[in-house]
Amino acid sequence: MNDLIVARGLSKSYGATRALNDATFTVAAGRIVGLIGPNGAGKTTALKAVLGLARYQGELSVLGLDPYRQRHSLMQNVCFIADVAVLPRWIRVRQLIDLVAATHGRFRRDVCEQFLSRSDIKRDSRVRELSKGMVTQLHLALVMAIDAKLLVLDEPTLGLDILMRKQFYETLLNEYFDEQRTILVTTHQVEEIEHILTDLIFIDRGRIVLDASMDEVQESYAQVAVRPEQLAAARARQPIAERQGLGRTHMLFRGVDRTELERLGDIGVPSVADLFVAVIQEART
Amino acid sequence: MSRFFWLVRREIWEHKAIWVAPLIVLGCLLLAMLTGNVHLGPIGSMDAATPLGNLPQEKQIKLLLVVYAGLALVVYIVMGIVAFFYALDSLYSDRRDRSVLFWKSLPLSDAETVLSKFAVAGGVIPMVALLGALLAQLVVAGGGSTMLEMAGASGRIMWQPDAIFGGAAVAAIWSVTAVVWYAPVIAYLMLASAWAPRGPFLWAVLPPVAVSVLELVLLRSTHVEDFITGRLFGLYKLLGWRQQSGGDSPSEIRISDIDLSASLRDFYASPELWLGLVAAALMLAGAMWVRRYRDETA
């Protein structure tokens, strides 16, 4: 098993609040992993630990390195966007490209120029003269031109309009991602990335409440549009969530046999958002 | 090495004052020359009873040396202010605009970053200052000789090699001396810049002021204050240049009193200088450490 990130018992406190509480998870090579959690769940803290930006308790290895102690070596192969659209405002686009090219051995200028050629970004503009969307495009063009083993994105599409968000994830999937690369991404907008994710990690109140591949999720979780006459029978199967739909009650089941569920109603694949809400609520009670 | 070169270039892109400030000084000087509205100390006396050309050559050279060295001093004071604010801003500006995490996403070590900024404050700025001082000397030599010609005298005395090269040599020696003497001040400002949660100016200036005042109030002594002012203004005392405040009329200035080579020998042998350099190295290491381990997003 080729695990890029192995975290065991990761903890981190800020004063009295425990941002990370005994978190254990792994990220395998060649996957697109969504780290999903409500605000203040510890997503950013976990990413900071992975990137060697924050001290932590517990065991953590990224690309076989200790990210806090060996941050410099780690950054040769890891690339991240911590705050999208936050680039130095005084710099010109051309200067920025020159700088990344001069300081990053794995940066490919032609790839960056190719991404940029699709935008209206002028090479002589200063970053502060660009719109927020353009700064994001620039940031992404820079990062996607770096041949990194691990790309970490923290809320990469925050503040972008829906067209750009869609375009961003399409580019990421079609033109950047391949089996050699691994992407770890956090976001609020689960709906937009669920079709590109291969793995899910749910985090709540510093704890990992789910760490599974999409395939595993689809095997063990099922959403059933329960027929009205089966309501009592369905509830007896202990669904982890229940909500009213149009004329039908939708229930989310974990680890219940498919043939049994078929008798209760129509089986569907739960959306990540529904799954997320259900798993978090279950974990909190 | 080329990475380091690019990092230094980055600083010059960001901090335009490094080359704009000396240009402004030169521009003002040129303007003063063109409007004839200039009173450059001893040269001002050339239309008086004893024009510069009537003095013996040895005196002319001494006079011109004072003028040229004075010009260098003006440029250096301006560039010293530039270096002060540069150092104070160097490890803070990217934290203020939050782009620090972008820089940290590049495979640059924090030691490299800090050293590149120190190289700008202690290398690039002094070199620009020296260049500015030399250009200022040329501007004044050119302007002065034109004024002399227009007054019917020979302008060539402004261009005497002993004065021009002597002035350049003094400027060069001063720039190097100032760097080694002020290195701990630069390092201190960079440490404050890396550490300050916000407003690095106050974080850099208040603690020494507060400690001085506390000492004065509680112990009725001024050791801290003496130490700080000694470092900020003691360069001239150490170099023995206080003797220069001898005469106030041009003929009485006795630059020969200043034995520059002996002063320099004393200066480079003084423990204050070397202890200062050790302190500079320690504070730079501290700045690297703070830059590396500071939690930027907490």
Higher pLDDT pick, A8 / A133 = A8
C-alpha radius of gyration, chain B, whole number = 22
What tokens were used for B97?
């605009």
Q: What is the mean pLDDT of residues A188-195?
A: 81
Higher pLDDT pick, B34 / B180 = B180
Give the lowest-confidence range in B154-168, B201-215, B276-290.
B154-168
- pLDDT for A54 equals 86
Nearest to residue B3, comparing CAs of A104, A109, A76, A106? A104
Question: pLDDT digit string (tens) for B274-297?
Answer: 999 999 999 999 999 999 888 755
- pLDDT for B147 equals 77
Higher pLDDT pick, A1 / B288 = B288
The DSSP call for residue B199 is: -
B contacts of A93 (beta carbons < 8 Å): none
Cβ–Cβ < 8 Å for A25, A186:
no
Q: What is the mean pLDDT of residues B67-96?
A: 91
- pLDDT for B49 equals 43
In the numeric block, the tokens 């060996």 are attached to: A70
Give me the residue from A75, A86, A90 closest to B107, CB to CB. A75
Give the lowest-confidence range in A109-123, A156-170, B41-55.
B41-55
Give the lowest-confidence range in B72-81, B104-113, B289-298.
B289-298
Higher pLDDT pick, B61 / A121 = A121
Give me the residue from A75, A88, A102 closest to B97, CB to CB. A88
A contacts of B291 (beta carbons < 8 Å): none
Statement: the pTM of the whole predicted model exceeds 0.90: no
Q: Which of A20, A53, A96, A144 to mutate: most B Cβ within 10 Å?
A: A53
Contact A54 B298 (CB under 8 A): yes
Does the pLDDT value for residue B73 go beyond 50? yes
User: Cα distance from A262 to chain B (closest Cα, Å)?
Assistant: 49
Residue B248 binned pLDDT confidence (cut-offs 50, 70, 90): very low
Mean pLDDT of chain A: 87
Give me the residue from A89, A95, A139 closest to B13, CB to CB. A95
Which B positions 109-128 lie with beta carbon below 8 A of chain A? 109
- Is B102 an 8 Å CB contact of chain A? yes
Does the pLDDT value for residue A12 go beyond 70? yes
Cβ–Cβ < 8 Å for B19, B129:
no
Residue B247 binned pLDDT confidence (cut-offs 50, 70, 90): very low
Mean pLDDT of chain B: 82
Q: What is the mean pLDDT of residues A67-80?
A: 90
Q: Locate the chain B residue with the closest alpha carbon to A139.
A: B102
- pLDDT for A268 equals 83
- pLDDT for A259 equals 82
Alpha-carbon distance of A64 to A62, in angstroms, equals: 5
Which residue ranges make up each domain of chain B? 2-293
Residue B111 binned pLDDT confidence (cut-offs 50, 70, 90): very high
Contact B106 A83 (CB under 8 A): no
- Is B99 an 8 Å CB contact of chain A? yes
A contacts of B103 (beta carbons < 8 Å): 88
- pLDDT for B1 equals 60
Q: Which of A78, A86, A135, A138 to mutate: most B Cβ within 10 Å?
A: A86
Cβ–Cβ < 8 Å for B90, B192:
no
Contact B7 A75 (CB under 8 A): no
Contact B101 A86 (CB under 8 A): yes
Q: Locate the chain B residue with the closest alpha carbon to A152.
A: B105
A264 conformational bin, left if phi > 0, alpha if psi -120 to 50, beta if neither: alpha
Alpha-carbon distance of A141 to A16, in angstroms, equals: 40
Q: What is the mean pLDDT of residues A189-216?
A: 88
- Coil/strand/helix, residue A265: strand
Contact A53 B98 (CB under 8 A): no
What percent of chain B shows pLDDT beyond 90? 39
Strand-pairing partners, residue A253, are A222
- Is B229 an 8 Å CB contact of chain A? no
What percent of chain A shows pLDDT beyond 70? 99
- pLDDT for A27 equals 92
- Fold type of domain A1-77+149-154+183-205: Rossmann fold (3.40.50)
